[in-house]
Structure 1
Amino acid sequence: MSAWLRDESPLSPGACDDERRTDIFNYLREEGHHHTAQVTAAGAGWLASAGLYPRSTLSLWEARPTAPGVLPCGGVFDVVNVPAIFGRRMLDRLWSEGPGSGPVATHRGRMMLFAAPGTAQRLPSLLSWEEWGRSAPEGAAPAVPPLLCHGSGDAVTVPSLVPGAGATPRWVVAPDTRHPWLPGPEVLLWACVRASRPLARTAVTRPRTGAVTSLPGSRP
């Protein structure tokens, strides 16, 4: 078994997944920023379970731990793919004000948030129902940029298990448990709303009277 398959979690041996998840959330909140982490053996097992042949996937990764992989969505996880800057805002809100996040990766200038199965189908509908998402001043950029939601029938490129020099894609929050918590559509909708507020406050219309009118969804 390759070195990367040995569980090198910073938590004490024998900690259950729920305890480990809670400890990691507290650790990231206390530090105030996110850490690029290496995938653990348990995290690799979770990733591999998304494929049709998990054992073959693990064997391939064991032979080439620095190579990215391709995994299907819809069964074990969905992926919400957003521009990197907006994704960073979402991630900051999730960790500073919300429940945290599941695994997160970056690839080609975008951020991939791993989400609960079914999120790819429901999140676009939830966004379209938001009044602030349906209207914007003429000529203004939308508060929420276009999201790419990968669900059933889609596949995504996942980062290598062991980071290499100049590796892309790469993990921002690496999977490190066999059953990671994954945000659902409601949580990611909440994060989109929070992340869009700085943009919404700057995009304003100025009536002839000189008063400033905020966009729907922005704070007064």
Structure 2
Amino acid sequence: MSAWQRNDDSAGIPSGRNPGLRGPGLRSAGIGGSGVRGSVIHATVGRSSAGLSRILDEQDGQHATEVTPAGAGWLASAAPYPRSALSLWESQPTAPTVLDCGSVFDVVNVPAIFGRRMLDTLWSEGPGSGPVAGHRGRMLLFAAPGTAQRLPSLLHWEEWGDAVPPLLCHGPGDAVTVPSLTSSVPRSGPRWLVAPDTRHPWLPGPEVLLWACVRAARAAAAPAAGAGGLSIFTSADQGAKVYDVSRRR
């Protein structure tokens, strides 16, 4: 059981911090953090990535929505043939692609508005997030492998299933459309909201996303509950401690 601390709203906050936050890891627009442009892609990527690295290095390094060479190497590692994926991206850097879930990452697919609440909570009160993409009114949160199987069960066990909009959890056997590596695509298509910029990005697990879902659901229900907000406890349990299910990195 992880250690929690409580804030003024009596809601648990993971007690650690993601070491990549405000470091050379993931960058999010309006949020502290810096990416290292021109990072050397992992050795398994191979020399064929040199052209792709040059293309990505030419982008403006301040854009959180653009993938770095190291981030491209991480995405390619989810493909059956990483070098072939990198070669394709080198010739078509503005084209989205489809990658398998379950080995390198899972994806939690949520409605855009609810996803924005989750993302705001993760960055303002939690450990940050992994890569995040937007597509067709949905938000795709990249998560640790195994999340797709466990998160729905945790929501059901915590009895928050009805308060959270339908989640599409993509794991082994599923595939998702990944935005292009560059930002020169129509905003109506898939796009990065938080782009991968490191070879081994930190990915939230099911417990962290459960916490974010609960906080987002409470925020959505608070206006209807009056000035006092919505308590996660019944009237008989108002003094109870929040159960610890997560940890900041």
CA distance in 2, matches of 1:117, 1:50: 11
In 2 relative to 1, CA 25–56 (structure 1 residues): closer, same or farther, beyond 3 Å? closer
More deviation, 146-155/191-200: 191-200
User: 2:245 aligned with 1:217, yes or no?
Assistant: no
Aligned residue number for residue 73 of structure 1: 101
Aligned residue number for residue 23 of structure 1: 23
Deviation at 1:26, TM superposition (A): 9.8
Deviation at 1:21, TM superposition (A): 5.2
SS at match of 1:199: helix
CA distance in 2, matches of 1:27, 1:72: 24
The answer to whether the 8 Å contact 1:21/1:180 transfers is no
SS at match of 2:120: helix
User: 2:75 aligned with 1:54, yes or no?
Assistant: no
Could you tell me which runs of 5 or more consecutive residues in structure 1 were left unpaired when the two chains were aligned.
1-17, 135-141, 206-211
* Match of residue 194, structure 2, among 173, 182, 202: 173
* CA displacement, residues 50-91 of structure 1 (integer Å, 9 cap, x when unaligned): 011000000000000000010000000000000000000000
* CA displacement, residues 143-172 of structure 1 (integer Å, 9 cap, x when unaligned): 210100000000000000011241410000
CA distance in 2, matches of 1:160, 1:204: 42
CA distance in 2, matches of 1:20, 1:185: 19
Counterpart code for 1:185: P
The answer to whether the 8 Å contact 1:123/1:189 transfers is yes
Aligned length: 188
* Match of residue 149, structure 1, among 137, 148, 169: 169
Structural RMSD (CA): 3.0
Question: What percentage of aligned pairs have identical amino acids?
Answer: 69
CA distance in 1, matches of 2:139, 2:177: 12
In 2 relative to 1, CA 197–64 (structure 1 residues): closer, same or farther, beyond 3 Å? same
In 2 relative to 1, CA 26–57 (structure 1 residues): closer, same or farther, beyond 3 Å? closer
SS at match of 2:222: helix
Aligned residue number for residue 164 of structure 1: 184
TM-score (norm 2): 0.68
Deviation at 1:23, TM superposition (A): 1.4
Larger relative helix fraction:
1
SS at match of 1:193: helix
* Match of residue 116, structure 1, among 135, 144, 147: 144
CA distance in 2, matches of 1:38, 1:120: 26
Aligned residue number for residue 193 of structure 1: 214
SS at match of 2:98: strand
- Deviating beyond 3 angstroms after TM superposition, the runs of 4 or more aligned structure 1 residues are 18-22, 24-33, 202-205, 212-216
In 2 relative to 1, CA 29–161 (structure 1 residues): closer, same or farther, beyond 3 Å? closer
Aligned residue number for residue 129 of structure 1: 157
